[in-house]
Structure 1
Amino acid sequence: MSERIRIRTERDHDGIVAIVLPIDPEVVGRQAELRLVQRARVKRSDPVHKERRLSTHQLVLATGGSRISLGRTLEEVFAYRGEALDLELKIELEVDDGFFFDTEIEHDLSSYGRLPARAMPPLPHKEVHSPKDRFNFIANLRAIPAKARLVVLCLLLVGGPVLAVNAIVGARDQFVPESRTWFYDHSDSDGESESPLFKALAGSGVLGAMLWAAIRHQLKKYMSFAARLPPHLSLARGSRCSAAEIVSGAARVPIERAVVRIVAYNREHGQYKDQEKDGKKTRTVIKDFTSDARGIVLYEQQLLYLQANEPIERNLAGEVVFDAMFDSLYPSVRIGGSHGLSLCLEAQFLHPDYVDHDVQMENPAVAEKDFFAPRA
């Protein structure tokens, strides 16, 4: 259809203008609808995409072309290319020319958003929001209170054998007739063949993840760590405050070579389809997902030595300046409530021998318009 109709766009003093030009005489005189949309396109298997209409225009395709003023609708929207989600700006043209199906064509408007080009963050995004947590298990175990240490040892003494026995039962049931299985049968809820060993390993994987999460929670008890933005602070270009106003906490043991960071990053939101068992039936369900993406370090300080029970904030020098967040990240946007981007602000305590701490600060008030302002 694009060979029969062409769409081009240009700027004028009133904003953006779309020019729809019929090439094929057969489409002249047809009714058409032009829609300006922002679309969230999910980049994973069985995706659920979503879009929102920014404006809708009715027209009749004319020989000399039609000029449709889109005004300044694009001034507060933007295109985005991310890890698990893209945000697209499109013109959709639907032509009333079919008995069963109308013809649709699209035109990309990504270059027309007013958001300035984003500055490239200096670090890969995973090193910002998910730095590798390397720690010494024995040293960390010694640093936590006796009660927490006992909980960890109990989890290991009880959880480890349970995982081993579960795997052994699955392996045993794999190689015996159905009538002689102990726990895992050879079929699923639909009556189809399924491996007992696979069932056992899947169960052990889930149980192991829960066990490790519980152990890590106890290992973090070598210190308290908290973070919040001062109530008087709203985030805008030029905003700044001392790191000591944001971060607080103390360790029960002396701390060496720790790093305190305050980071900001975008979080992608979307949906996908999944299959779930419901008795003997399989049904398709829609699930939400999040994926942490582009990030920037706003503040970082190394603490060479902290005495036991010494407040962290007494050792934090300097200010957190938020301008880089407006230059490198994207403003929050939601499409249909389930898709889009959010902005996260997080404080981190990184230590080479102990489990790291991270605290996400709740719903910071952000001047969204400052993302669209030119960089100084």
Structure 2
Amino acid sequence: MNERVTFQLDRPDGEDRGPSHCTLTINDSTLLGHEATFRILTKVTVKDSDPVNEEEVHFSTDLMLDQPAVRIDLPDEPLRTFSYDGPSISIRTLAWLKVDDGLIFDTKISQDLPVHPIDKEKPTGDPIRTIDPRDDFSMTANIGAISWPARLLFGLVVILALGMIGGIFWVLHHDLTVPLGQEIFFERGDSPMETLLFTLAGLFFIVRASWSLMKRILRRYILLTRPEPRSAIRLGDRIPVSRLVAGQSRIDLRNIELRVVAANLECGQVWRGRGKNRSLESFEKAGRAVTLYTKKVAHIPVGIPIADYFTGDVDFTPMFKALYPPLEIGSSHGLKVYWEIQLIHRDLVDQELRYDDLDYVYEDFLEA
């Protein structure tokens, strides 16, 4: 805590309202008599070697530090923010003061604020593996499970990917052997390391994009859909599986498992690369996750709705107990609440049906 200035939030009675005012106690007399700017803000700090942090100002005012104790009236509205410390980001709510007392550098003081505490027990297990379990499958069995048009499309993607990879190596060989000035892409003046990085980046992009498309094709042995529109989930909701997922397989499914999992996704941005290859990357990583429903079925015949075999309700109360409320700071940082339905098979590519566009009530996460 900074001893030059201390901040004290005073709350009114009732938890649904925000703090009514903040008292600044000036312990350093050299700060008196100066104009200042006071803010309450929430800051997202990305835990990375080259991070992009973000903050959102909830309240800001200019004032004169003309006495040792200064009272600042705050808007009478909920301050919906909290402290959070996860694997990829941390979230803090701060009182921030800038004092106009220097010719070049002004004094800046910040202090963590005791905002509404949210105590959550950490779920067991690896959140990343809960949301994205290891997907082992048989390529032969999976290709045999999709239709002939899908198999032809899969083969076309493989041929195009191999062709593009071969094209990169042909251009690289061409540019390294032709006379100076006749290069197509790789300039002879580039450093060997820069040429290598360009080559690896191109190969990585082609392989990643092609593999993503191939997995989408391999998933065509079944199409999972939402059987009814849904816009929100509330604390206490218990929803039958049949109202959350629908689908019919074009082959017999054996030893199939259906799971419903929910997570807090930590969102932020980082810088990657150097020089002209430097670029901004956004990420969403599971910081906390919980399993809401799981059931294994020995056999589902071809053409039979899977909801006929996965009976029972999904209780969403554990989601509200384990996860923090969604908190968006800017357009790219903060916490999201996300849940999905997973269909897991030993020999086939796993399926997922995402529910990442629903609304939630902030207070439901506090009351759980």
| TM-score bin, normalised by smaller chain | 0.7 to 0.9
**Greater shift after overlay, 320-329 or 26-35?**
26-35
Q: Which piece of structure 1 moves more, 263-272 or 68-77?
A: 68-77
Q: Residue in 1 aligned with 2:153?
A: 151
1:247 counterpart SS class: coil
The equivalent of 1:337 in structure 2 is 331
What CA distance in whole angstroms lies between the structure 2 residues aligned with 1:70 and 1:310? 59
Q: 1:23 aligns with which of 27, 32, 51?
A: 27
How far 1:31 sits from its partner (Å)? 2.8
Q: For the structure 1 residues 229 and 101, does the alpha-carbon distance in structure 2 shift closer, same or farther, using more than 3 Å as the test?
A: farther
How far residue 100 of structure 1 moved from its aligned partner, in angstroms, is: 2.7
**Alpha-carbon deviations, 1:31-52, whole Å to 9, x = none?**
3332111122233354333222
* Partner AA of 1:334 in structure 2: E
Asked whether the 8 Å contact 1:274–1:285 carries over to 2, the reply is yes
1:196/1:295 Cα in 2 relative to 1: closer, same or farther (>3 Å)? same
**In the aligned structure 1, how far is the partner of 2:350 from the partner of 2:243?**
21
| Contact kept? 1:74, 1:113, Cα under 8 Å | no
Measured in 2, the distance between the counterparts of 1:251 and 1:126 equals 28
- Cα 1:293/1:167, change in 2 over 3 Å: farther
Partner of 1:9: 8
CA distance in 2 between counterparts of 1:157 and 1:285 reads: 30
Q: Which whole-Å CA distance do the structure 1 matches of 2:360 and 2:226 have between them?
A: 17
Counterparts of 2:143 and 2:61, CA distance in 1 = 66
Could you tell which deviates more after superposition, 201-210 or 283-292? 283-292
Are the structure 2 counterparts of residues 135 and 75 from structure 1 closer, same or farther at C-alpha, using a change threshold of 3 Å? same
Secondary structure, aligned partner of 1:324: helix
Matched AA of 2:246:
S
Q: Which amino acid aligns with 1:204?
A: L
Within the candidate set 33, 39, 43, 1:35 is matched to 39
**Structure 1 unaligned regions, length at least 5:** none
* 1:56 maps onto 2:54 in alignment: no
Q: What CA distance in whole angstroms lies between the structure 1 residues aligned with 2:52 and 2:335?
A: 16
SS of structure 2 residue aligned to 1:78: coil
Distance 1:320 1:314, change over 3 A: same
| Match of residue 311 from structure 1 | 305
After superposition, the Cα gap between the structure-2 partners of 1:365 and 1:184, relative to the gap in structure 1 and judged at 3 Å, is: closer
* Deviation, structure 1 residue 90: 0.3
The two structures, once aligned, show a CA RMSD in angstroms of 3.2
Q: Which moved more, 1:304-313 or 1:331-340?
A: 331-340
Specify whether residues 75 and 254 from structure 1 end up closer, same or farther in structure 2 by C-alpha distance, changes over 3 A only. same
| Residue 320 of structure 1: how far off its partner (Å) | 0.7
Contact 1:80 1:86 in 2 (8 A): yes
C-alpha separation between the residues in 2 aligned to 1:228 and 1:344? 19
Q: Kindly indicate whether the alpha-carbon contact (under 8 Å) linking 2:282 and 2:332 is maintained by their aligned counterparts in 1.
A: yes
| Structure (1/2) with the larger strand percentage | 1
Residue 333 of structure 1 and its aligned partner are, at CA, apart by 2.2
Could you tell me which runs of 5 or more consecutive residues in structure 2 were left unpaired when the two chains were aligned.
14-18
Question: How much has 1:297 moved relative to structure 2?
Answer: 1.5
Give yes or no for contact 2:337–2:356 (8 Å, CA) kept in 1: no
* 2:263 corresponds to: 265
Residues 9-35 of structure 1: CA distance to partner in whole angstroms, max 9, x if unpaired? 365545476443333332233333321
**8 Å Cα contact 1:247-1:313 kept in structure 2:** yes
**Alpha-carbon distance in structure 2 between the residues aligned to 1:96 and 1:196:** 50
* Contact preservation (8 Å) 1:174, 1:197: no
CA-CA distance at 1:291 after TM superposition: 3.2
What is aligned with 1:347?
341
Query: How many residues are paired up?
Result: 362
Letter in 2 for 1:220: R
The residue that corresponds to 1:225 in the other structure is: 224
